[in-house]
Structure 1
Amino acid sequence: MNIGEKVFSVEAREKGIGVITGKQDLFHQEYAEVFFAESGECITFLQAVLQPVKTAEDTFLQQQFSPAKRFILRLFQKQIEADNTGDGLQAAANFKILPLPHQLLAVKYVLDQPTPRVLIADEVGLGKTIEAALVYEELKTRGLVARVLVVAPSGLCLQWQEELKQKFNEDFIIYDRETVQSLKQLYGENTNIWTLRDKIITSMDFIKPKKINKDINEALLARRTWHNEHVLEAATQAGFDMAIIDEAHKLTKDMRGEETARFKAGKALAESIPCFILLTATPHQGDSDRFRYLLNLVDPYRFYNSSVVTPENVEKITVRNNKRAVVNFRGERLFKQRLTSLCSIRRDKPEDGIELKLYQAVSVYVSEYYNLAQTQNNRTMMFLLLLYQRMVSSSSQTIWKSLDKRLTLLKEASKTMEKVEFNVEENDTEVEEIQELNVEEQMVYLEKGSTNWQINKKYLETEIQILERLVELAREASLGRTDAKLRTLLEIIDEFKIRENDPELKFIIFTEFVETQYYLNSCLQNLGYKTALLNGRMSSQEKQQAKDLFRQEALFLISTDAGGEGINLQFCRVLINYDLPWNPMRLEQRIGRIDRIGQKYDVKIVNFQLEDTVEQRVRRVIENKLDTIKKEFQAGEDKLADILSTLQEEFSFENIYINAVQKRLEDVTQLEKISEEIYQRAKDMIGKGELALPFSQLEENYNVSAWELEKKGEETKQLLEGYLSIFGASMQEYKGRSGVYYFDDPINGKHWKNVIFHQKFTLEQEESEILGPGHPFVRMAMHQLEDSLSQDISARIRINEHKFAGEAGLAFVYQLRLTNYVDKEKLFIIPCFINSNGQYNSRITKYFQGLQLQVQDLVAITQDIDLAMVMERGKRQGEQLAEAIYLEQRIGMEEKLRKQEENRQAYFSARENGLMRIAVENIRNARLKELQTERDNFRIQARKRRQMIPSLRCEQIAYVEFV
């Protein structure tokens, strides 16, 4: 190899073509220094990994022709390579999901932003998780994101982990207190453990800073200081490329405008992580200031004061889709009607008296001891008593088992009178963290510390006596009888089967408590029914097995709230809530298991409610107000579902219920007052939110089609067929299983089975593996093809295509590279057909842009052709086509930068005006200097991004005849 010779490196093909600028022999090895004009780099390589560049023109004129199929396969591979650098969707076809139009439109919108920082505010049930995950996958495919942090409420962290694994094959680790402490012990105190993994999920209430003040003791101060340093501060310094924050409305400031711990966490993450995606169905919450604080996290340069929070500005950083308006690719509405009925259960038979007696006795116990726990600020016990009150309305069996367990604990404690040193406050666990847990997780946590009573032995013995009486009542209510709720359940099951005219009708029965679940399971099995169970104690594999059992055999699925998280059951249309959570958001989450995308029928919901209980009277007053909201607004049920989590944050439905139990609901005036406040707040949130945050009309600016994803699947299939063919292998389709294939990898011999390429087969082929363009095996095949076909740059080709019969000429393939050395490089493959008369043919040119063509080798050129003239004409035409693409891309970049500069200039001006009001001169000047530095840095970056550098190279030339 000589100085000045053009070469490429087989180990660094992404660098492109370079020129040898120097050579050196050292330690018995020959080295060459290569300059790459496209990147401006000068790199030294072993000469053995360098290959001389043959130009397509020289190879063609020297008649060094490759087989036609290899030539076309190289063109096909280059087209896919270029497509993978473009603005279109690249990752959406990689996964066993069926993306919907509104989800793909949202992803395209996010990708079109100068920096991916947006608020996704779709209504509940539209798949915000899918949208955020697809944005991540698209950015990862483009090389823009490697490290991602997901922040969610603690109760949703496991659901995020499972959904990302099941649907996107992504392995995320959950960071909580135990994980962080274990990693610290393993790697040392000086290690930032947030840098150890690239894909992390953590809870909102874990990552937020702990409050530090003078009132806490030294031990607690030390723990909280350690937490703040090694959790939030460390996370912001860990170099994450992207953050996804679920239920993001919880991050905003409080109603007085003061920063909450959650807001401080959100702000710190927003300032340190470039790609920032917020997910919430209720961003506005009826408060314009709190809405602006949330928007400011996404774009501080646009939302610097209240005056700029206009619908026009909000639309520029938000995506919001209407649940009842979204459609599939066939234009069909995605959601069916929801039909909800309340089943009031009267316990008026003589045998029901024991249940009423038990309910009243437990309510008295809960009321008295809740008051005692309040005086001692023992939140552990307060939470446990809340659960006891809900248990007694769920089933006698559940309250029996739980009170018996507490009785045993207290008897053990009374022997030594030793306290268990465990309390919510002492353990530095926030109230919000416990509230976010499901009932099963709460029970495990709370029963640890429920014996920590600051009372003497006399009071302890008193509680033991009360519990002994309650346990005996519960035992009597549980054994040897059929309770009123179970009798009603069996009646409703028979009624539904008759009404639906379907003896094989499937039912989902939800309960909060595992003991109630076991009781129902035993009763239904004794009646000869096949059942399946889901609860939080089961592994992901066991949950999937239970879901499969329910789909294939069982008529009943009995699930707890924890068991149903993340499980989609659209194939069932009847859901019975055997007991009702006090938090209505939990109820909405249950219904969302069947009232979701993919449901083919109207869904029937039956809510059980015991009459003559405090809970019934509370629910009646509150739900009357919430029903009014549903009627006042179009699609009011969906809008109410969106705001339930915010209402829970502000009013705490659990507190409303327990206060009513404490007071025995002797005075309903206070309850009616609170209900009116809930109504007014809900009305404000929905009404003001509709005005401030209109629904997106993304289809006006972006297009998606089912063919866009189908094409990706077909391209991948053809690419792998080409890869297998050049190594002497082939792909086979299973008999009787359309779209499912198997083959052996000719490189390493691995047998691939149950392979699909099109997402439409995912539902019916659950055991299959989809090979999309981003699959590691497909990427490996791409690299193998690039290496193997690197010299297949000229050919003589014959194509059977009647509409072009008689045409002949040269097909040129140009590659245009565009870079500004800031953004990711873009590639464009530009075919160009010049006929034997030197005329450009646009129709045939477009023909070469399709899927892999069916071609044959041509033995010889049969027509007279002036090669020099045609090649010169091809060069000019190729440059014209490339220039049109270059100008389009440049105009697009200019428009993005113009919008970005307008926002920044308005922000800089507002900041400067604010700083000029600082009275102290040296502080004012220092702040103004910092602002000027920020302004200068932005201008430098904008100037770099405007410098779009093109390079054009002829990749392939072929003589083509059509017959």
Structure 2
Amino acid sequence: MHVGEWWHSLDYDEPCRIVGIEVLWNHTTCVVWLPRRANTLRTLQSRLAPLRTTEANLLDLLSFISAAARIADALERDALIAPLEGNVIPLPHQLHALQRALSGDRVRYLLADEVGLGKTIEAGLILRELKIRGLVRRVLVVAPAGLVSQWVSEMKTHFNEDFRLMLPVNLAMIRQVAGLDEVENPWRTYDQVVCPLDSVKPLEARRGWSGQQLARHNRERFEDLVSASWDLIIVDEAHRLSGSTEQVARFKLGEALAEAAPYLLLLSATPHQGKSDAFRRLIGFLDPDALPVGGAVSRENVAPYVIRTEKRRAIDAQGAPLFKPRHTQLVPIAWGPSHAEQQALYEAVTEYVQDGYNRALREKHNAVGFLMILMQRLITSSTEAIRTALERRLQVLELPAGQLSLFPEDIADDWSALDGQEQFDTVLKARLKGLKNERQEVELLLSVARRCEARGPDVKALALLDCVQRLQREDNDPSLKVLVFTEFVPTQTMLADFLRQRGFSVVCLNGSMCLDERREVQRRFAADAQVLVSTDAGGEGLNLQFCHVVVNYDLPWNPMKLEQRIGRVDRIGQKHIVRALNFALEDTVELRVRAVLEEKLKLILEEFGVDKLGDVLDSEEGGAPFEDLFVQVVLSPQDAERRAAALVEDIRRKAEAGREGTKLLNPTPQLDPGAAQKIASHQMSFWTERLTLAHLRSQAGAAVERAEVGYNLRWPDGHEVKSAVFTRRNAEPPGAVHLSLEDEHIRALTTQLPVFAPGQPIPTMLVPGVSDKVSGVWSLWRISLQTSDGREQRCMALFVSDDGRVLGPTARTIWDRLIALPDDLRLNATVLVKEAAVSTFEMSRFAAEAHGGTVFDELAGAHRESIRRERKKGSHAFTSRKRVIERMGLPHVRARRLAQLVEEERAWSAGLAAREAALPELTAIVLMRVARQDQP
């Protein structure tokens, strides 16, 4: 044993090089260098053995190593990595957005695709790409309250990214759980956070609050949020931050968020709504110098910041149009003679609402006005819904007067953001004082409602049954899936019971269910349930492309909510024409208004060449006018048609202004389906399968068994996976588990590339398709650039023929065959050892040095560019954070945060300087002699 020789470490099961030998008190110890660990340590000579080639399971071991090297190389070499890893195959326009966003140094863009094209997916792809490249760790998503849960769900479902939904009302609890003091920032507790937009905007005043209360509110919700050191901030519905003036709270939030992170994604389908100043402010968030005040707003100076695809230009991976047509139908439901009493109940409740609302306004009892309007919507939903509401109202009215109260008058602040069931719960839980004689009115209405229920099912329930059966016949599909939406849980419960009693398999979703319960319901609906009855809150975040029939059993007054409902099935991937049936009772003011709205809105959509109201109207701006319209026509039915027509005309004017604004946005480029096809056909899933199976077959204590679907796997540490599959298309059967590089066990295997040492025995193989033509030495090499914080690498296959030629295609072919491990690939009895092994190694290394220089130059260039970007990004981030902290109101908090910032910047700068030093490394992974079939 001599210094410089290579031996095998029994303790670490890998080759090591002896760098020192010492004999002390009759014990011989060696200092060895372990290249895989880049570490030097002392060991007993007895724990070193001659280099060897493992005979048992050698083919599986070689296949595993070859697959691991191919994956490691692909993860470093491919321009875009995120699409290969996630659970979603990007469409051509989504790949275009990803490529465009990553093409420059400043990832600060407005993603402005039209509605329904998957801006959330695009943002997720960009997020994943930045994380994989090590550029992003802390991510903040700011979205309207109704979308925050959907963001959490979609990031987990599509990208396996865990986000924490942080509601400002829970900050005190987060402080307590995390053990934070009053000065520490709770927004730094989690690295990936979603929060609702309007809950974190700064306030200038609030009725009844002192200056100290206001300062505390703004510090916890606004100042702490924007100073929490984010790497990437994503803002959904970002046009809401552009503000009517630069003084409004939302604009101040947008301005602060824009300065709080080096990477910024603004998402909006309607970024320019005919208001140039607001659009200028929106682009200013991305770059304050993009559109100077007084300068022209032109397509040329907007183009660097906007990524946009129009639906008419969107295609799938085969180049076909992305969306199927949609058919929406308003379905009037006639009362009929057998439901005269139900019609009388509707009319009586409407009279109660009209009278009660007007009296509530006269008596300045606004909360009761909200209750009256809710009653009107309940009576159009179902008898059970109105009966439940009347019972709960009567319970309140029977309480002693001293226990009744006026509902907080700020109910209007958040009322429109609540769905129907949330409004139902909010207003009926309050012990509202009654109007004069209201108790007697409620008692009378309640008795009529109970009689109606006793007489049998509602007329709409019977119409739903008839509708479902008719659609089954028309589609010739007895198991046709139907999604039914209602605003209220009592109606949901009634419909589920009604349909189950008639032989249908029914599942339900509502806002009270947790994420796991919602996923289970969605799974059951996808599997064997025929009908899903959902409330609006229950339907948030659902992706139900496998269903194409939606019945809106009751109609929310805001038609944008109807768009959201239908959007659960009218999504990318839908294979059928979507049918949406909107139920409305005949001889009601609701039907009169709805008929006028749908007729006139249809003309607008045709004029603009779109098929959804959301294509021309923002959901926030669209909600209030429609709801105000219905309130007014319930109170004054004679004006229904005139008011509806006036509102639609106002929508047309706004849409026209918005359309003019979109002319400033880039036209959609010609999309290439080939890029998406390349991703869809990429061999990453095959390599991952071969990597996993070959590794487990080569390991003691592991097992691979064929299952009915996929494989049952057991890892050496005891971890088991049943029905494991490795491609997305095979993951559809219930119970199948899709394994990818996201799995921690599999991802770890890509880092376990071995080291092949000089003198290590070299096996000989017969490789089909090669051994009949040529013989020589095949090898795999890792070309690395090592820095203080890690390693950047490429893997290179090399084949040197016996006559000295370096054959690139042959090297690639052998690599592919080793991964695939065909049955006719086999070991030859000959093994190169000792001097023959050393000389073969040296010959291969000489060739590897000659051919690997270009690869290292690429790595070094990319490293220098990465350091430059990181320095620029960090400088921007620290400057922005300093500006934010300097605006803080409390001097002691400001001083502490500035001191912390100085220390963070000093440590960051030192770390970056250390990373600039880059060391080259060339390491052998595998060497193998390929024999000719006619050789012994």
Structure-1-length-normalised TM-score = 0.79
- Say how many residue pairs are matched: 879
- Comparing 133-142 and 269-278, the one that deviates more: 133-142
Contact 2:64 2:692 survives alignment (8 Å): no
Contact 1:836 1:865 survives alignment (8 Å): no
Residue matched to 2:427: 446
Contact 1:569 1:593 survives alignment (8 Å): yes
Contact 1:358 1:473 survives alignment (8 Å): yes
User: Is 1:84 equivalent to 2:75 in the alignment?
Assistant: yes
Residue matched to 2:713: 743
Letter in 1 for 2:611: E
User: Is 1:518 equivalent to 2:493 in the alignment?
Assistant: yes
Q: CA, structure 1 residues 112+485, in 2 after alignment: closer, same or farther (shift >3 Å)?
A: same
- Comparing 184-193 and 946-955, the one that deviates more: 946-955
User: Is 1:345 equivalent to 2:333 in the alignment?
Assistant: yes
Letter in 2 for 1:632: E
User: Is 1:209 equivalent to 2:202 in the alignment?
Assistant: yes
Where do 1:846-857 residues align within 5 Å?
Answer: 846-847=812-813, 850=816, 852-853=818-819, 854=821, 856=827
How far, CA to CA, are the matches of 2:223 and 2:10 in structure 1? 43
User: Is 1:628 equivalent to 2:594 in the alignment?
Assistant: no
Contact 1:573 1:601 survives alignment (8 Å): yes
Letter in 1 for 2:401: K
Contact 2:143 2:237 survives alignment (8 Å): yes
Where do 1:80-479 residues align within 5 Å?
Answer: 80-186=71-177, 187=179, 188-212=181-205, 216-218=207-209, 222-254=212-244, 257-305=245-293, 307=295, 309-323=297-311, 325-347=313-335, 349-371=336-358, 380-412=367-399, 414-416=400-402, 418-419=404-405, 423=408, 425=410, 431=413, 433-449=414-430, 451=432, 460-479=435-454
How far, CA to CA, are the matches of 1:548 and 1:182 in structure 2? 33
- Give the CA deviation at 1:681: 0.7
How far, CA to CA, are the matches of 1:775 and 1:727 in structure 2? 19
How far, CA to CA, are the matches of 2:44 and 2:221 in structure 1? 47
User: Is 1:754 equivalent to 2:723 in the alignment?
Assistant: yes
Contact 1:243 1:277 survives alignment (8 Å): yes
CA displacement 1:751-794 (0-9 Å, x = unmatched): 33221211111222x323222123211133344x3468789977
Letter in 2 for 1:194: W
Residue matched to 1:505: 480
Where do 1:637-716 residues align within 5 Å?
Answer: 637-638=611-612, 640-646=613-619, 648-649=621-622, 652-666=625-639, 669-697=642-670, 699=672, 703-705=675-677, 710-716=682-688
Gaps of 5+ in 2: 23-28, 877-905
Q: CA, structure 1 residues 424+846, in 2 after alignment: closer, same or farther (shift >3 Å)?
A: farther
Contact 2:775 2:931 survives alignment (8 Å): yes
CA displacement 1:842-877 (0-9 Å, x = unmatched): 322443564744463562569999979955861563
- Comparing 310-319 and 888-897, the one that deviates more: 888-897
Letter in 1 for 2:228: A
Q: CA, structure 1 residues 491+288, in 2 after alignment: closer, same or farther (shift >3 Å)?
A: same
Contact 1:120 1:319 survives alignment (8 Å): yes
- Give the CA deviation at 1:839: 3.0
Q: CA, structure 1 residues 886+506, in 2 after alignment: closer, same or farther (shift >3 Å)?
A: closer
CA displacement 1:811-831 (0-9 Å, x = unmatched): 454444458989x86422233
Contact 1:647 1:682 survives alignment (8 Å): no
Q: CA, structure 1 residues 396+959, in 2 after alignment: closer, same or farther (shift >3 Å)?
A: closer
Letter in 1 for 2:599: N
Contact 1:32 1:44 survives alignment (8 Å): no
2:847 corresponds, among 874, 899, 905, to 874
How far, CA to CA, are the matches of 1:104 and 1:790 in structure 2? 42
3-state SS in 2 of match to 1:562: helix
- Comparing 381-390 and 302-311, the one that deviates more: 302-311
- Give the CA deviation at 1:490: 3.6
Residue matched to 1:918: none
User: Is 1:772 equivalent to 2:724 in the alignment?
Assistant: no
Q: CA, structure 1 residues 411+568, in 2 after alignment: closer, same or farther (shift >3 Å)?
A: same
- Give the CA deviation at 1:229: 0.9
Q: CA, structure 1 residues 31+210, in 2 after alignment: closer, same or farther (shift >3 Å)?
A: farther
- Comparing 643-652 and 582-591, the one that deviates more: 643-652
How far, CA to CA, are the matches of 2:253 and 2:32 in structure 1? 49
How far, CA to CA, are the matches of 2:504 and 2:54 in structure 1? 68
Contact 2:713 2:722 survives alignment (8 Å): yes
User: Is 1:592 equivalent to 2:567 in the alignment?
Assistant: yes
- Give the CA deviation at 1:96: 4.5
3-state SS in 2 of match to 1:464: helix
Q: CA, structure 1 residues 694+361, in 2 after alignment: closer, same or farther (shift >3 Å)?
A: farther
- Give the CA deviation at 1:265: 2.1
Q: CA, structure 1 residues 167+652, in 2 after alignment: closer, same or farther (shift >3 Å)?
A: same
Gaps of 5+ in 1: 24-29, 37-42, 454-458, 905-936
3-state SS in 2 of match to 1:703: helix
2:922 corresponds, among 927, 945, 953, to 953
How far, CA to CA, are the matches of 2:604 and 2:797 in structure 1? 60
Q: CA, structure 1 residues 124+950, in 2 after alignment: closer, same or farther (shift >3 Å)?
A: farther
- Give the CA deviation at 1:301: 4.9
CA displacement 1:545-604 (0-9 Å, x = unmatched): 444444444433222212222233333322221111111121111112222233322122
- Comparing 350-359 and 527-536, the one that deviates more: 350-359
Contact 1:734 1:742 survives alignment (8 Å): yes
Letter in 1 for 2:230: F
How far, CA to CA, are the matches of 1:944 and 1:704 in structure 2? 39
Contact 1:836 1:870 survives alignment (8 Å): no
1:569 corresponds, among 544, 557, 575, to 544
Q: CA, structure 1 residues 741+789, in 2 after alignment: closer, same or farther (shift >3 Å)?
A: farther
Contact 2:84 2:684 survives alignment (8 Å): yes
How far, CA to CA, are the matches of 1:567 and 1:755 in structure 2? 25
- Give the CA deviation at 1:836: 3.2
Residue matched to 1:719: 691
3-state SS in 1 of match to 2:331: strand
Letter in 1 for 2:633: A
Q: CA, structure 1 residues 76+98, in 2 after alignment: closer, same or farther (shift >3 Å)?
A: closer
Residue matched to 2:830: 859
- Give the CA deviation at 1:709: 6.1
Letter in 1 for 2:455: G
Residue matched to 1:26: none
CA displacement 1:19-71 (0-9 Å, x = unmatched): 999x9xxxxxx99999x9xxxxxx998845999xx9xxxx9xx9977777556
3-state SS in 1 of match to 2:437: helix
How far, CA to CA, are the matches of 1:142 and 1:444 in structure 2? 47
Identity %: 30
3-state SS in 1 of match to 2:797: strand
- Comparing 545-554 and 62-71, the one that deviates more: 62-71
Contact 1:150 1:200 survives alignment (8 Å): yes
Contact 1:861 1:959 survives alignment (8 Å): no
How far, CA to CA, are the matches of 2:494 and 2:484 in structure 1? 12
Contact 1:811 1:834 survives alignment (8 Å): yes
Contact 2:787 2:916 survives alignment (8 Å): yes
How far, CA to CA, are the matches of 2:479 and 2:845 in structure 1? 74
3-state SS in 2 of match to 1:802: coil
